[in-house]
Amino acid sequence: MLKRIYYLILLTFLSFSHGASANPFEGGWQLDTAQSTIGFLSVKKGTIAEYSGFASFAGEIDGAGNANITIALDSVDTKIDLRNVRMRFLFFETFKHAEAVIKASIPQDQIADLSQTKRKIIDLSVTLSLHGVVADLTAPVAVTLLDENSINVSTVQPIILSLSDFDLLNGLSKLEDAASVTITPVGIVSLDLNFRRSGSENLQSVATSQISGSQAALETTGTFNRDECVGRFEILSQSRSLNFPPNTAAITAEARSFLDVLADVVNRCPDMKVEVAGHTDAWGKAQWNLELSRQRAVAVAKYLMEKGASQSRLVPVGYGETRPLVGNDTVENRAKNRRIEFKVLN
């Protein structure tokens, strides 16, 4: 009888071991965000490295080893509030591109013996969707079996991304102008991801730990104080995301996504009067440009009022061509001058 029980136990163990060897991801795994980090290094002034992370992301590995990670870009966390705002509006332009997505397929034949080796280093083919661009990369990663219900996937060395490959040089230029520094045009990315087996006892706490967007970083909840409002309106003015086609005050579809985010800031500064300043390029007669700039300011103010802003707190003003941001010598520069800026008045 004891011998029979022994053989049953041995058979069960061998069956489990064989299954784990064949496919460690059988049944799927859920990303434990509380025990994971995704971040990047940036280098300014040639020698100063700064680390930023993301406070909100989610992901899983399915039973076939297909990994999918989604990152809320407006949860970028530099540990400084207004720097977070700059990164969101000037660099990542999260009002247009809210998420980054990482997809990969972990080859089963390369990790089939993970239950015995516990740790394998593999070259992983990765697809990264960022800022409207999809690119294929290869990254060396370590896959570590921590216990029967926990697994870690982490970069062995940083992944170096060229910002030009993801159409981020314009955002980089805005950051440099806003901070008056030079920034190396690369991002040095690292990941340290812990996963829990689907159905394990701690999976519920893993799922409920996930929160979204800027709420997960240093964003103030409720209303902003004066300094927070002033800083945000300065940054929104620097974003150069609210431009107009020539000879019109019509708000473009692209500008509406920016204005929707701006409306949230206006509504969270309820005690402050804000100047909405319209500007034009230098083409055409000065008097016509003055009137056109006023119409642009009025159009933006009306849009914000439709989103809940009080008319008494918005002061639309036209400055015509008198305050150019840059010279009017190129098509690109003239487009930059056809803009709206914001300023807290009291």
Shared domain for 52 and 190, answered yes or no, is: yes
β-partners of residue 186 are 162
In the chain, what percentage of residues exceed pLDDT 90? 70
Structural domain that includes position 332:
226-344
pLDDT-derived band at 212 (thresholds 50, 70, 90) equals low
- My answer on whether 37 and 105 are in the same domain is yes
* Residue 256: strand, helix, or coil: helix
Q: Do 180 and 322 fall into the same domain?
A: no
Q: d(Cα 80, Cα 225) in Å, to the nearest integer? A: 15
- 278 and 206 belong to one structural domain: no
Q: Which CATH number is 246's domain given?
A: 3.30.1330.60
CA distances to 156, 223, 237, 276, 308 from 311, rounded to whole Å, are: 55, 18, 20, 12, 9
Residue 24, pLDDT above cutoff 70 = yes
* Last residue in a domain, options 184, 216, 248: 216
* CB 102, CB 68: distance < 8 Å: yes
Pair 35, 108 in one domain:
yes
- 62 against 9, higher pLDDT: 62
In the listed set 183, 216, 249, which residue is the last one of a domain according to the structure?
Answer: 216
Of 216, 236, 257, which residue is a domain's last? Answer: 216
Nearest to 181 by CA among 29, 38, 43: 43
> Does residue 221 fall inside a structural domain?
no
- The pLDDT score that the predictor gives to residue 9 is 42
Classify residue 311 as exposed, middle or buried by CB count within 10 Å of its CB (0-12, 13-18, 19+): exposed
Contact 327, 281 (CB under 8 A): no
Share the mean pLDDT of the chain: 87
Residue 4 lies in a domain: no
Determine, yes or no, domain membership for 20.
no
21 inside domain? no
One domain, residues 207 and 238: no
Residue 330 has a CB neighbour count (10 Å cut-off) of 10
pLDDT at 208: 39
Say yes or no: 300 and 159 in one domain: no
In a 13 Å sphere around the CA of 261, the CA atoms on its Cβ side amount to: 24
Average pLDDT for residues 58-77, to the nearest whole number? 95
Q: Is the pLDDT assigned to residue 18 strictly greater than 70?
A: no
Per the structure, the count of domains in the chain is: 2
Instruction: Inform me whether the pLDDT recorded for 185 exceeds 90.
Output: yes
* 157 is a domain residue: yes
Q: What is the pLDDT of residue 19?
A: 41
The answer as to whether 2 is a domain residue is no
My answer on whether 212 and 231 are in the same domain is: no
**Same domain, residue pair 83 and 144:** yes
The whole-model pTM stands at 0.85
Whether the Cβ atoms of residue 115 and residue 149 lie closer than 8 Å to each other: no
Asked if pLDDT for residue 179 goes beyond 90, the answer is no
Q: What separation in angstroms does the CA of 265 have from each of 28, 223, 228, 268, 275?
A: 40, 9, 10, 5, 14
What's the distance, Cα to Cα, between the start and end of the chain in Å? 88
Q: What pLDDT digit, counting tens, does each position of 230-280 carry? A: 999 999 988 878 878 888 898 988 889 899 989 999 999 998 999 999 999
As a three-state string, the secondary structure of 72-98 is: EHHHEECCCHHHHHHHHHHHHCCCCCC
Answer for the pair 78, 101: CB distance below 8 angstroms, yes or no: no
Whether the Cβ atoms of residue 132 and residue 162 lie closer than 8 Å to each other:
no
Task: Please give the structure tokens belonging to residue 345.
Answer: 């008045």
Residues 184 and 239 placed together within one structural domain of the fold: no
Q: What is the mean pLDDT of residues 28-46?
A: 95
Asked if the model's pLDDT at residue 281 lies above 80, the reply is yes
Check which CATH number belongs to the domain holding 203 and give it. Answer: 2.40.128.110
